Homo-oligomer: A and B are copies of this chain.
Amino acid sequence: MMTSSYSNSPCAACKFLRRKCNQDCIFAPYFPPEEPKKFANVHKVFGASNVSKLLNEVLPHQREDTVNSLAYEAEARIKDPVYGCVGFISGLQRQLLGLQKELDATNADLIQFTIQGSSSLGLGHVDYSNGFYNYPSNFEQ
């Protein structure tokens, strides 16, 4: 039975590469024919042979996560050829820094409140304008 022809439609990778999709195709479980873009993207950014090499290097149960992270990186690189998903990392790091500053400022105010009581707290920089208590910060965008 193993040598009989594989009658299902070829996976997205084999269709893209115009080759026969065998039962032992390394791509087939992760690149179903109904998601042609997923393979096209990783092929464009990493190359089919690099993807195949990587899939053979990781453990079988890690292959799905590997393909999904490659697909994510590839899509990001196609959308932003200069920074790819490294642009997301920079943005998240900036947001994290901004939020940490905001938390430090809020904690510092809370300490003031705890030590001195509400009467002596400078509430000048609390912004009530939109109905929420937003702490303005030096949030870098």
A residues within 8 Å of B by Cβ? 44-47, 49-50, 54, 57-58, 62, 65-66, 69-70, 72-73, 77, 81-89, 92-93, 95-96, 99-100, 102-103, 106-107, 109-111, 113-114, 117-118, 123, 126, 133, 135
State whether A107 touches B133 (Cβ < 8 A).
Answer: yes
* Oligomer: number of copies: 2
Quote the shortest CB–CB distance from A103 to chain B (angstroms).
5
* CA gap between A118 and B46 in the complex, in Å: 59
Determine which of B50, B66, B135 lies in contact with A46 in the assembled complex, contact meaning CB atoms within 8 Å: B50
Quote the shortest CB–CB distance from A112 to chain B (angstroms).
10
In the complex, the chain B residue whose C-beta lies closest to that of A102 is B103
* CA gap between A65 and B86 in the complex, in Å: 10
Between A and B, 17 residue pairs with Cβ closer than 8 Å are A47-B50, A58-B82, A66-B82, A66-B83, A69-B83, A70-B84, A73-B85, A92-B92, A96-B99, A102-B103, A103-B135, A106-B106, A109-B110, A110-B113, A117-B117, A117-B118, A118-B118
